[in-house]
């Protein structure tokens, strides 16, 4: 039985990670730490876990990670970069769900996050945890940086088009919507039901921290320079990311449907929908799945890709477990077979 630890775990990615790990047949959660909640039962904080475990939060200062085969960081950014180096040194493998190691370019990270990176030497070494692109590197990684939720939906959607070289990479557009859980389990005015409910609005149009992550990832799929306009929207629902992607086709005779189906045929976490279908976040709620479809409206030269994930699963905790399975030679989908909860 593999022994894993969870650092943080008091937020929505944390409780989702525990939902998956506590039912993973090959794993035991042996440690969960939180400074603020030390000593508190996990199921007191999250009543959805009542009856499912007896875990209690440990103070990080008293935590002994050496008995763990792998440790997840489900913390806000700025925590993992301080604590991961010591774990790596101990030989503990790490899956970081935060943003600390997602950008290889340390300066770019420091520009977008407005602070000095505490472990710059690990940025280049960390493997970006998108299995559909980096499966083999993840297998051997000591440190995996899990992709953000928007970047997962956007990169999977552009992937076949960029690899095939059939779009103009200088004018990519991603118009995306996220459920409110993307803003975290924090008491923010803008996340109140009374504010976010019954409303649709864009946010962060001037610049969102997922933009450089997306441009880095998209650039790795092509030799061309990437320029992406990214507009996120807050959608009145708890879970889900939907990305609508636009690009100009540079080739007129590409069979888009077949391109997508072929690219993802062997991918366990990606489903390409039949032509004319539209993915919906409700169809992937709770599941480690990205549903994709591709269209060419009016037969004109703009291609439209639609991509739907659960931001907490394929966009966070599920993807982290997928990475863990690869790292620890488990079947890639173990613990991730849960079917989406609909309605």
CB of 254 to a second copy, least distance (A): 17
Which helix (H) or strand (E) covers residue 89, if one does?
A: helix 80-90
Q: Which of residues 286-305 bind a second copy (CB under 8 A)?
A: 286-287, 289, 291, 295, 297-298, 300, 302, 304
Identify whether 176 is a catalytic site residue.
Answer: no
339 binds a second copy (CB under 8 A): yes
Q: In the stretch 304-323, what mask flags binding to a second copy with x, by CB under 8 A?
A: x-x-x---------------
C-alpha dihedral (7, 140, 160, 288), degrees to nearest 10:
-40
Q: Which of residues 137-196 bind a second copy (CB under 8 A)?
A: 171, 173, 175, 177, 179-181, 185-189, 191-196
Q: Give dist(CA 15, CA 224) in Å, integer.
A: 40
Three-class DSSP category at 265: coil
- Kindly tell me which residue out of 42, 49, 103, 214 binds a second copy, with binding defined by CB under 8 A: 49
Give the residue with the Cβ less far from a second copy, 125 or 337: 337
Distances in Å between the alpha carbon of 183 and those of 112, 237, 311? 18, 12, 11
CB of 139 to a second copy, least distance (A): 23
Q: In the stretch 246-265, what mask flags binding to a second copy with x, by CB under 8 A?
A: x-x-----------------
Give the residue with the Cβ less far from a second copy, 67 or 200: 200
Q: Which of residues 212-241 bind a second copy (CB under 8 A)?
A: 227, 229-231, 233, 235-240
Output the CA angle 311-314-317, nearest 5 degrees.
Answer: 85
Number of residues that bind a second copy (CB under 8 A): 87
- Which of 123, 149, 176, 290 is flagged as catalytic? 149
Output the DSSP codes for 117-162. -S-HHHHTTSEE--HHHHHHHHHT-SEEEPPPHHHHHHHHHHHHHH
Instruction: DSSP letter for 238, please.
Output: S
Three-class DSSP category at 242: strand
Instruction: Tell me which stretch binds a second copy (CB under 8 A): 94-102, 128-136, 157-165, 273-281.
Output: 273-281
Q: Which of residues 18-47 bind a second copy (CB under 8 A)?
A: 19, 22-23, 46-47
Give the residue with the Cβ less far from a second copy, 107 or 337: 337
Structure tokens at 294: 């591709």
Output the CA angle 21-25-31, nearest 5 degrees.
Answer: 40
113 binds a second copy (CB under 8 A): no
- Kindly tell me which residue out of 2, 6, 7, 15 binds a second copy, with binding defined by CB under 8 A: 15
User: 296: burial class by Cβ within 10 Å (0-12, 13-18, 19+)?
Assistant: middle
277 binds a second copy (CB under 8 A): yes
Catalytically active residues are 149
């Amino acid at each position: 039985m593999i022994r894993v630890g969870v650092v943080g775990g008091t937020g929505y990615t944390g409780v989702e990670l525990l939902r998956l790990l506590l039912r993973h047949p090959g794993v035991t959660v042996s440690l969960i730490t939180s400074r603020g909640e030390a000593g508190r039962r996990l199921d007191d904080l999250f009543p959805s876990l009542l009856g499912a475990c007896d875990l209690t939060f440990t103070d990080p200062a008293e935590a002994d990670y050496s008995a763990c085969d792998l440790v997840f960081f489900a913390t806000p950014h700025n925590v993992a970069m301080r604590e991961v180096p010591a774990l790596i040194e101990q030989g503990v493998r790490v899956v970081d769900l935060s943003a600390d190691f997602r950008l290889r370019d340390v300066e770019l990270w420091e520009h977008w996050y407005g602070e000095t990176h505490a472990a710059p030497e690990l940025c280049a070494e960390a493997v970006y945890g998108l299995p559909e692109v980096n499966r083999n590197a993840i297998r051997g990684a000591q440190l995996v940086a899990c992709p953000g939720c928007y970047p997962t939906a956007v990169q999977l959607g552009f992937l076949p088009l960029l690899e095939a070289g059939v779009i103009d990479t200088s004018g990519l557009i991603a118009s995306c919507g996220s459920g409110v859980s993307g803003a975290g389990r924090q008491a923010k005015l803008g996340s109140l039901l009374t504010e976010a409910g019954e409303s649709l609005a864009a946010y962060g149009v001037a610049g969102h921290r997922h933009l450089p992550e997306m441009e880095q990832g998209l650039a790795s799929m092509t030799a061309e320079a990437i320029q992406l306009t990214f507009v996120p929207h807050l959608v009145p629902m708890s879970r889900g990311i939907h990305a609508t992607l636009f690009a100009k086709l540079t080739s007129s005779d590409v069979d888009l449907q077949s391109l997508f189906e072929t690219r993802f045929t062997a991918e366990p976490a990606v489903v390409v929908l039949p032509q004319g279908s539209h993915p919906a976040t409700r169809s992937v709620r709770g599941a480690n799945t990205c549903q994709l479809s591709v269209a060419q409206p009016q037969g004109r030269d703009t291609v439209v890709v639609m991509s739907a994930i659960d931001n907490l699963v394929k966009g966070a905790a599920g993807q982290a477990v997928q990475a863990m399975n690869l790292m620890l030679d488990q079947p890639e989908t173990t613990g991730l077979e849960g079917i989406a909860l609909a309605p």
